[in-house]
Amino acid sequence: MKITFLPQNITWEAEPGETILQAAVKAGVSIDGNCAGMGTCGKCRVKVLEGDVSEIRDHHHKLSEADIEAGYRLACCQPVTENMVVEVAEAETTASRKKKLIRLPEDFVPFSAVEKQCIRVSESSLADQRSDEERILEIFGWKGAAFSYDALAKLPQVLKDNPERLVTLTHREGQIIDVEAGDTEKANYGLAVDIGTTTAVVMLWNCSDGSMVDVSAVTNPQGAYGADVISRITFAGEAEGNLKILQQAIIDCINRAIAGFEEEDGINSSNIYQLTVVGNTTMSHVFLGIDPAQLAYAPFAPVFTRGVHTEAGKLGLRSFAEAAVYVASNIAGHVGSDITAGVITTDLMDRDKGHLFIDIGTNGEIVLTGNGRAVACSTAAGPAFEGSSISQGMRAARGAIEKVDIGDDGVKISVIGGCQPVGICGSGIIDAVGELIRTGIVDKSGRLLSREKLEQKGISPAVVRHVRANGKANDFVLYFSEDGKQDVVITQKDVREVQLAKAAISAGITIMMEEIGVTLDSLEKVSIAGAFGSYIRNASAIQIGLLPAVSEDKILSLGNAAGIGASMILLSQRCRQEAEEAATEIEHIELAGRASFQDQYMMAMMF
Amino acid sequence: MKITFLPQNITWEAEPGETILQAAVKAGVSIDGNCAGMGTCGKCRVKVLEGDVSEIRDHHHKLSEADIEAGYRLACCQPVTENMVVEVAEAETTASRKKKLIRLPEDFVPFSAVEKQCIRVSESSLADQRSDEERILEIFGWKGAAFSYDALAKLPQVLKDNPERLVTLTHREGQIIDVEAGDTEKANYGLAVDIGTTTAVVMLWNCSDGSMVDVSAVTNPQGAYGADVISRITFAGEAEGNLKILQQAIIDCINRAIAGFEEEDGINSSNIYQLTVVGNTTMSHVFLGIDPAQLAYAPFAPVFTRGVHTEAGKLGLRSFAEAAVYVASNIAGHVGSDITAGVITTDLMDRDKGHLFIDIGTNGEIVLTGNGRAVACSTAAGPAFEGSSISQGMRAARGAIEKVDIGDDGVKISVIGGCQPVGICGSGIIDAVGELIRTGIVDKSGRLLSREKLEQKGISPAVVRHVRANGKANDFVLYFSEDGKQDVVITQKDVREVQLAKAAISAGITIMMEEIGVTLDSLEKVSIAGAFGSYIRNASAIQIGLLPAVSEDKILSLGNAAGIGASMILLSQRCRQEAEEAATEIEHIELAGRASFQDQYMMAMMF
C-alpha cells in the first residue's frame, strides 16, 4: 500500500501490518512521539486525508470524539490498510535553534588526518617503464606511502579520462585512499555526528581549512521504536533483525542529512573522507549494529568502550566508501562518547580545581573533577527536562513556553516563535517550577497549594487565579486560551516529575562531590552541556535544586558540547587523542552500587 | 538453456548466445584449448550426447566428417541453443604431477602474521563494569591491541552462545580480527596462490605450524577468453565488463579450489585468514580487477608493481571476509610476482656469483645476477614449450610423450601414464628436437632432412623409417599407431616453432650476460623454475641452445618456484620483505629497447 505524507509530499510503499509511524520512519518523515508507539503519549497524531480508517483501533482514546470525527489518528496505532494520504501536524523545528550553536573554541587549531594534493603524473617511455603507481609515489615524495587497493583500482580510468594527467590524491596516514581527475584539493569534507536519543546533529566541515559548511539537526527516527535507550534496547532484543532496523534508521537519517548537504551546499558525498560519531553508549552500540542488550540490566557492562574505527561502506553511509568512521570512546555503559566529546571542549581534564560538568537529557550525565581526580556517573533523570513525561511537555519548538515569570501582577510567559503557546519545553518547565517554588505556590515538599492556602499566604489575586483545582490536587495555568480548551497548565504530577528528576541528578552530584572531596565552596565552575543549558535560567535551576547553589557567574553554558567536541575530534588528531585519554582516565561511579544513593536521593527530593 | 557436462555431471544454466566453452568456464568445468575460442586449435572438442547440433557452425573444419557424424563439436564454436548434455573428453590431469612439488626449503622458518589464542573471558559485576572488549584486551596482554570493527560486532553473540566464555581470538598486527566460541587455535589457514596464464595452483597451509594441508592445480578458466596474456588484455579492452569477466573467472576458480578443500580436508573457509597471490603482471592486474591495457603495447608500463594489500571480501573470495590478501610485488610489465616469488627461493639476491634464473612458459622470464647486480627481462618465447603451437602438442597430462631417445636401433619414447601416446608435451618436444639435432636428423639451420639425405649420412634404417615426407618438408614420426591414423609426429613447422622460441630466450640470456659482465665461465649456477624444469633433459635443452652450455651439475631444477615462493611469503613476514626488496632491486632490461636484440635473436636462431 502507498502512503503519502503531507506537507513533505513523500510517498512510501508500506508493508502489510505496518503502522503509519513505522512507514514514516522508513520514509524519513519525522513524527513526534515520546512513548515509542505504546499509544500513551498521544503526540503522534496525524490527520488522515485519504484512506478508510473507520475501524478505530486501540489507544485512540488519546483522541477526542471530535478529533476522530475529523480524521485524526495516532500514527503509532493506525495500521496502513490501503492507499493513504496523511497530514503530519508538526514539522521539524529543532534545527533552527541548533544551527548557530556549532562554534569551535577560538584557540582551536585544525589538523586533519586527511589531506589532498594535486599533482601532474609523468608519462612512461621505453627508457622509463616505471608503473603509474611508482611515478606518482615519487612525485608525492612520501617515503613509505602506498596506494590503497581501491585507489589503485581507480587509477587507470582516472589517467585515461585525463590527457593532462593532472590528478588529486587523497591521503591518510601514509596511504593514498582516493585519486580523482583534475584539481579537487578543496573538496575535502568530514562529518561530525552527534547521535542523541531524541535528536541527531550532523555537522559538515571542510577539512582542508577547518571551516564549517553546514549543520542539520533532525529527529532521531529510532524514536518510533522507543523514547529512551532502555525501550530501544528492549525492542532490539525482541526479535531477530530489530537491532538492524534501529541501526538502519539512524544510518538512513544521517544519509538524508548528507543528501541535503549535496543539494544545498553543492558538495559531492564521495568527497566526505572521514566521519566522527559520538552519542550515548547505547547509541554508539546501535549505530555500529553491536548488540546493546547488556546495557539494559546491571552491571550495565558495555560490549566496548574504546574508540571504534571502521569504514563508511561497511555501514552503508553515503560518503566515500572507504571513509574512516570513528566512533569516539565511551566512558561507561551509561556515560557515552557524547560526554567524552563534551569534556574535551572544557579544561575539565586539568583536574586541579573543582569543576562540575553536567549534561541533562533523558539521563543526566555528570563529570566532576577536583583534587587531581575525575569521576563520572549517570543518573536516571527521566525525560522531564526534555519536555517529555510532562502532561503538556514538548520539544523546544515553535509554540513552546520557554520562560515563565511570576510577579504580583500575574504570570508572564515567553513563547518560542512568539505565537500562541501549545505546550511547554524543558527550560520552560524548570523556569515555571522554579518560579512556583520561589513564590511559595509550590511548597518544599513539592505540593502545589490550593487557592485557599495561597490566599491565606497573601499571594496576589492576579497569581492565585492561575491555580485551578483538579480533583484532589491543583493545576497551575500558565496560559488561558480564549475558549478555555487550549490552556497550557502545569499539573501537580508535572511538579512531581520535575522533583524526581532533579533529585536523581542532585543526589548524583552530592555523591560525586563526597567521593573526591569537592565542597560547594571549592566548586569553582559548573559547565552545562546541551542546547538546554543555553536556555535555562540558572536562578531557576538552582531554585529547584537541579544545580548546586553556586554564584551564577560560576555557571557556564557550553552549548552543544557533544557536537563541538565531535567536530574537534574530527578535525584534530590531537583532540582525538585527548578524548581517548579522557575516556580512560575518568573513573566511573556506579550509583546503583552505592549504598548511600537511596538516602541521598530521598533527601534531594525536597525543594 | 540447461547444459550438463559429463563425466563431471555439472549442470549449468547457459545464457542465450553463449558457447559451450563459455558456459563451461562459468560452470567451472575445465576444457582444453589454446586459441581462446578462435576455433583454430581444435583442442576443445566435446561430444554432444543430447541436444540438436545439426546446424554445423564455423570452424568445425578442425573436425573430421566422422567426428562430426559422431556428435563431436568444438566447444568454443558451438552455441548452446537448447538443453544439452555434453561429454568433455579430457579431464584435468595436471594436478597429479604438481601435487608433490610444493616443498619448502629445509631451513625455512615459518613466522605467520596471523596468530590465534584461546582465552576465558571474566564476567562483569557492579564492582567491575569494564566492557567485554576491555577485559579481553587485558587478558590478551597486548599493549595497544584493538578489536577490528567486525570482530567487535561478533563478540556479543559469541559470548552469549558460550556460557563458559571460552573464546579464540585471531590477531594480526596488533588487531583482533576475529573472535570465535571455544578453542579453534589450530584452525588458522592461509592460501598461497600462483596464477599462471594456463594453470592456477592453490596451496592450503596451516599457519599455526607451517604445515601444508592440500594443493589444487587447476586450469585457469580465463583460457576461454585468450590463450596468452596479450589476447586476454585485448579481450578485457573490447567491452565494458570484460575485465570483470576475466577477474571473476579466476576468483571463481580459486573459490572452487577452496570449496574442494572444505570438502576433502574438513576445513572451514572462514578460518582462512590470509592469502598470498603471485602471477605474471597481467594476471596480478586482472586478479585485482585493475585495467591491464597498458601492458599490451610499448612501453609496457604497468599500473602498479608494488605489493598490493586488500581484503578477501572486496574480491569475493571464499574465506574469512577480512582475510588479508597480498598480491606480491611485480618487477615490470612482463616480469611478474611469480618471478619475484621464485627468486626468493634461491640465493640469487646475494648477487655475488653469476647465477641465471629462468622460468619458461608462454613468456620466458630471465633473471641474472653477478658482479653485484641483478637484472631481469622477459622474452616472447611463445607457447611452444608449453606444448601449444606444436601440431600435436598438449599439456603434461596422461598420454603425452615426455621423453625421446634416438639410437641406432630406433626411437624410444616415454609416455605419461604409460599408455598409448596421444600427443607431446613441452619436455618431450625439447627432448625430441634435442635428439634430432644430436643425431643430425635436423641440421643447424633447423631443417628436418629427407630420408635420402639421412641415408647418405649413414643414419640407421631403424631411424630413417621414422622420417616421412609431408609436401615439400619432412615429418618425424615419434609413434606409429596400428592403423596409422593416430601417429604422433614432429613436423618441420614444429621444429621452427622450437627454433623461434629458443632463439628469443637465448638472445635474452646473451644480452643480460653482456649487460652485467657474466660470461659462460663465470656462470656458476642455472636455476630452472617451473614443473617444466623438473622434466626436461638438461642435455637436450643445452643441445637445442635453450640453456647456456654449462656443465650439467650447475643446472638446478627448482620445481614450482613461484608456488614455493608464494608459500614462503605467506608463511613468513621476513620472506615477504625479501620479496619486496628483490622486486625493487632487480633492474628490468627492456629487450625491445635494445638495438642489439634483433641481431642476437637472428644469431641465436641457429641450432
pLDDT in tens, A283-327: 999 999 999 999 999 999 999 999 999 999 999 999 999 999 999
Other beta carbons within 10 Å of B578: 18
- The yes-or-no verdict on residue B42 having pLDDT over 80 is no
Q: Does B289 touch chain A (CB under 8 A)?
A: yes
DSSP string, A33-56: -SSTTSS-S-TTEEEEEES---S-
Mean pLDDT of A23-48: 75
Backbone angles phi, psi at A114, to 5 degrees: -110, 130
Average pLDDT over every residue of A582-607: 91
Q: How confident is the model at residue A389 (pLDDT cuts 50, 70, 90)?
A: confident
d(CA B250, CA B264): 21
Model pLDDT, residue B91? 46
Confidence of residue B98 (pLDDT cuts 50, 70, 90): very low
Lowest-confidence segment of A4-18, A79-93, A587-601 by average pLDDT: A79-93
Residue B149 region by backbone torsions, left for phi larger than 0, else alpha for psi between -120 and 50, else beta: alpha
The 10s digit of each residue's pLDDT in B99-129 is 555 789 889 999 999 999 999 999 999 999 9
Give the one of B127, B301, B590 whose C-beta lies nearest to A593's C-beta. Answer: B127
Beta-strand pair B189-195/B199-206 = antiparallel
Gap between the Cα atoms of A42 and A61, Å rounded: 9
pLDDT band of A60, cuts 50, 70, 90 = low
Q: All 3 cell numbers of residue A238?
A: 525482541
CA–CA dist A379, A373 (Å, integer) = 20
Cα gap A395→A238, rounded to integer Å? 29
pLDDT for A303: 97
Residue B36's pLDDT is what? Answer: 61
Residue B339 amino acid letter: I
- Sign of the Cα pseudo-torsion (B486, B490, B492, B494, in order): positive
**Can you give the pLDDT at residue A33?**
67
Q: What is the pLDDT of residue A93?
A: 40
Least confident of B95-104, B211-220, B372-381: B95-104
> pLDDT tens for residues A243-255?
999 999 999 999 9
Lowest-pLDDT range of A15-19, A505-509, A546-550, A571-575: A15-19
Query: Hey, which residues 145-184 in chain A have their CB within 8 Å of chain B?
Result: 146-147, 149-150, 152-153, 155-157, 160
Question: What are the chain A neighbours of B173 within 8 Å (beta carbons)?
Answer: none
Q: B376: closest CA among B510, B512, B280, B502? A: B512
- Minimum mean pLDDT among A218-232, A577-591, B463-477: which range? A218-232
- Say yes or no to pLDDT of B397 above 90: no
Q: Using CB atoms, which residue from B157, B160, B305 is nearest to A133? A: B305
CA–CA separation, B387 and B360 (whole Å): 12
Q: What is the mean pLDDT of residues A499-511?
A: 94
pLDDT at residue A90 in the model: 54
**How high is the ipTM of this complex?**
0.82
Q: Which of A427-441, B1-15, B316-330 has the lowest mean pLDDT?
A: B1-15
Residue in B361, B342, B375, B348 with CA at minimum distance from that of residue B513: B375
Whether pLDDT at A59 is above 70 = no
Find the length of chain A: 607
Which A-chain residues 16-55 have CB contacts (< 8 A) with chain B? none
More confident site: A64 or B550: B550
Interface check for A299 against chain B (CB to CB < 8 A): the answer is yes
d(CA A518, CA B598): 90
Q: Do A305 and B155 touch (CB under 8 A)?
A: no
Pairs across A and B, CB distance < 8 A: 139
Backbone angles phi, psi at B217, to 5 degrees: -115, 120
Q: Pairing state of beta strands B84-88 and B114-120?
A: unpaired
Residue A532 has pLDDT above 80, yes or no: no
Quickly state the pLDDT bin for A351 (edges 50, 70, 90).
confident
Domains and their CATH numbers in chain B: 2-91 (3.10.20.30), 114-181 (3.10.20.880), 190-327 (3.30.420.480), 346-382+498-604 (3.30.420), 392-490 (no CATH)
Q: What local confidence, expressed as pLDDT, does residue A209 receive? A: 93
Query: At residue A129, does pLDDT exceed 50?
Result: yes
Could you tell me if B520 lies within 8 Å of chain A, comparing CB atoms? no
Yes or no, beta carbons of B303 and A133 under 8 Å apart? yes
Q: What is the pLDDT, as a whole number, of residue A94?
A: 41
Q: What is the tens place of the pLDDT at every residue in A91-114?
A: 444 444 345 557 898 899 999 999
Rounded average pLDDT over B11-27: 83
Q: What is the pLDDT of residue B93?
A: 40
Asked which of A22-26, A30-34, A63-67 is least confident by mean pLDDT, the reply is: A30-34
Q: Hey, what's the cell of B570?
A: 605467506
Helix (H) or strand (E) holding A260: helix A242-265
Chain B interface, best mutation among A148, A179, A290, by max B CB count within 10 A:
A290
For chain B, positions 559-598, list CB contacts with chain A under 8 A. Answer: 588, 590, 592-593
Whether residue B95 is predicted with pLDDT greater than 50 in this model: the reply is no
3-state secondary structure of A560: coil
- Inform me whether the pLDDT recorded for B327 exceeds 80: yes
State the Cα–Cα distance between residues A333 and A302, nearest whole angstrom.
5
Whether the upstream peptide bond of residue A7 has omega within 30° of 0, thus cis, is: yes
Identify the pLDDT of residue A36: 61
Select from B586, B534, B592 the least CA-distant residue to B564. B534
Distance from C-alpha of A421 to C-alpha of A331, rounded to nearest angstrom: 39
Separation CA A548–CA A524 (nearest Å): 11
Q: Which residues pair with B167 in a beta bridge?
A: B119, B181
Contact A397, A34 (CB under 8 A): no
Taking an 8 Å cut-off on Cβ atoms, the answer to whether A149 and B309 are in contact is yes
Tens digit of pLDDT for each residue in A467-497?
999 999 999 999 999 988 889 999 999 999 9
Inspect the interface and report whether the beta carbons of A308 and B149 lie closer than 8 Å: yes
Using CA atoms, how far apart are residues B586 and B399, in angstroms rounded to an integer? 40
Determine how β-strand A175-181 pairs with β-strand A84-88.
unpaired
pLDDT score at B94: 41
Provide long-range contacts, Cβ within 8 A and 24+ apart, for A343-347: A343/A367, A343/A565, A343/A579, A343/A582, A343/A586, A344/A565, A344/A568, A344/A569, A344/A575, A344/A578, A344/A579, A344/A582, A345/A105, A345/A558, A345/A561, A345/A564, A345/A565, A345/A568, A346/A527, A346/A558, A346/A561
Cβ neighbours of B17 (radius 10 Å):
9
By mean pLDDT, which of A272-281, A352-361, A456-465, B389-398 is the weakest?
B389-398
Give percent of chain B above pLDDT 70: 95
Mean pLDDT of A174-188: 96
Read off the pLDDT of residues A515-524 as tens digits, 9 standing for 90 and up.
999 999 999 9
**Distance between CA atoms of residues B330 and B302, nearest Å:** 9
Query: Rounded to a whole number, what is the distance in Å from the CA of A299 to chain B's nearest CA?
Result: 5
Minimal Cβ distance to B333: which of A129, A301, A588? A129
Mean pLDDT across chain B: 90
- Please state, in angstroms and rounded to a whole number, the distance separating the CA atoms of residues A121 and A134: 10
User: Is B90's pLDDT higher than 70?
Assistant: no
Coil, strand or helix at B108:
coil
Min Cα separation B566/chain A (Å): 20
